[in-house]
Structure 1
């Protein structure tokens, strides 16, 4: 994270904070929490995109989801065979 940083005070349940400290390792709690928040923002952004797409094209069906999962599985398998990694 090459971005400028700021210091913030947050409140969270003690058990979650302790588990995060244990898992954060050498990178530290701040980096661990920042990465978790970044992932949540990505998920929120994705959910907004899905909502816009569904508003325009209708809901995504279970069959469409499964088809995309199957495609992803095939691509990952092919990449593993060729020694490349999926993004």
Structure 2
């Protein structure tokens, strides 16, 4: 992926906090990753808005059903990757 150098203004406290976590060369990567994450979240929100316009709002029952399904998938994943299986 091509890169381009830009100038941004960031609160000094934030820069210092980031520098505590990464070396000097890592600051750009850290901020680029944060920007990529925000871009992905913005795109996801835009998609959700388009889907809601087209199909209507998600009901409480639909949301709970999705959360229950995620919990079930997480449970199966945990069972498949439990430490007792790895020791056997």
TM-score, normalising length from structure 2? 0.78
Aligned residues: 81
Q: Which of 56, 59, 63 in structure 1 is aligned with 2:57?
A: 59
Distance of 1:27 and 1:81 partners within structure 2: 40
Aligned partners of 1:48 and 1:36: how far apart in 2? Answer: 18
TM-score (norm 1): 0.79
1:33 to 2:31 alignment: yes
- What's the Cα RMSD here? 1.9
**Larger-gyration structure (1/2):** 2
Moved over 6 A (4+): none
Q: Which moved more, 1:30-39 or 1:61-70?
A: 61-70
Runs (5+) with no aligned partner, structure 2: 82-88
